[in-house]
A and B are shown apart, each in its own frame.
Chain A
Amino acid sequence: MSTIAATQNISFPGFDNRSSTGSGSEEISNLFNKARKGLRLVRPAHQQYQPQVSETLEDRLDHTKALCKRKTAEVAMYLSEDFRKGFFLQIDNLIDAENWEEDDKPITEASFTTLLRMLILINPDLRPGLGSTSQGNIIAAWTKDKDQLTIECLPEDKVRWVLSRQFSGIRESAAGEILLTRLLAALTPYSPGNWFDNDPQEK
């Protein structure tokens, strides 16, 4: 059987060392025991170090910026080169020591991960404007004339969205906090292509 299920719970297969035999069995057992403790055998180069914990804000922000770019590399194959380049400029401008509020927490990896997953899911033609909260959550905001969509990316695939949209001159506003998998369904009544697409008429 080689069927595997997508699940939040990770259970490790149980290796029975007692059934091993032969001269290599002790080394093999040790190897599996190490694997069971969560060691990945020989980490890839970019993970082969422990970053120093720094006191300066500038160093912490530099570390955050680098982390965001490495996380983006994990999904770079789903982003166009133009999108990625523009996105990196935005990250540089957002996570900038000269303009960072000292009391704000740096953008968290968990929030940024949700942002990336959201961008791949939505696959917008237009990148959002970026902002952040004092708790280190990243904000993605799309604006088209008087219509606004703002999404705060929380850890673990949760998003807090709020929008304001004009229909026949009358403004409708709505807000919610949901799982990412429900986002497009929640936005559908408000024609999200208005924000995400280059030419909404075509789609």
Chain B
Amino acid sequence: MTLKKNDVIPNDNHVMRYVPWNRLRKDENDNVIGILGEAFALRDGEEGISSTWLEYFPGNQVSQITQAVHKNRKCLKVTPKSGFAIGKVEDILSECNKNYKSKKIRVVYMPNNCNKAHIEIKPMPCNDALLLELLALDVWSQLILNRDIP
């Protein structure tokens, strides 16, 4: 599928977000058991959540995930113990728009020089702890650890 910049990503597609080690949910022995809501918090100056569009890459989902991870490793500093969260576009939109009807959130295609599969989810509401928690718990619930991708 070919999209232009600022086009909306189809609802049945998937996006993958890099989750640093410090934003992974762990037990008391540092075993990873999930994702913290903070993984989806915006930094100062950011308007949207930055992610990678999986269906940009050819092949089945496993292959797409692998290629997306490799792309992230080229474009970001991906640390050994980090992870990647995967969510479906329609689930993201549903959760975000549920409580913020006045500000319709969109998942838009925003390729950059390094990552041609780059997307942004915006405009994100300001860092609402409950929303971030639900995104982590329900929406971006599939977690891949960096070390598990060769």
Contact = CB atoms under 8 A, between A and B. Distances in A.
Assess A/B contact in the complex (Cβ within 8 A).
Answer: yes
Interface of A: 86, 89-90, 93-94, 96, 98-104, 126-134, 139, 141, 143, 148, 150, 152, 160-162, 164, 173-175, 177
Interface in B1-49: 20-30, 33-34, 36-38, 41, 43
A130 B22 CA distance: 8
Closest 4 CB pairs of A and B: A129-B26, A127-B28, A99-B21, A175-B130
Contacts, number: 89
A162 B25 CA distance: 14
Given A104-B22, A143-B33, A160 B28 contact: no
A162 B22 contact: no
Interface in B72-101: 77, 79-82
A150 B77 CA distance: 27
Nearest to A102: B77
A173 B132 CA distance: 12
A93 B80 CA distance: 12
B149 interface: no
B79 A162 contact: no
Contacts of B27: 129, 143
B129 interface: yes
A84 B109 CA distance: 47
A130 B129 contact: no
Given A99-B82, A148-B133, A173-B133, A131 B30 contact: no
B36 A150 contact: yes
B54 to A, nearest CB: 23
Contact of A162 (B80, B82, B130): B130
B22 A126 contact: no
Please classify the interface of chain B as helix (H, G, I), strand (E, B), loop, or mixed, using the class held by over half of its residues: mixed
Contacts of A86: 28-29
Contact of B36 (A99, A127, A141, A173): A141
27 contacts: A89-B30, A96-B21, A98-B80, A99-B79, A99-B81, A99-B82, A101-B77, A101-B79, A102-B77, A103-B43, A126-B28, A128-B28, A131-B22, A131-B23, A131-B25, A132-B38, A133-B41, A143-B34, A148-B137, A150-B25, A162-B129, A173-B130, A173-B134, A174-B130, A175-B130, A175-B133, A177-B129
A144 B38 CA distance: 19
Contacts of B130: 162, 173-175
Contact of B25 (A93, A103, A127, A143): A143
B28 A150 contact: no
Given A133-B38, A133-B41, A162-B129, A99 B80 contact: yes
B30 A99 contact: no
A97 B123 CA distance: 32
Nearest to A134: B43
Contacts of B41: 133-134
Contacts of B77: 101-102
B26 A131 contact: yes
Interface string B101-134: 0000000000000000000000000000110111
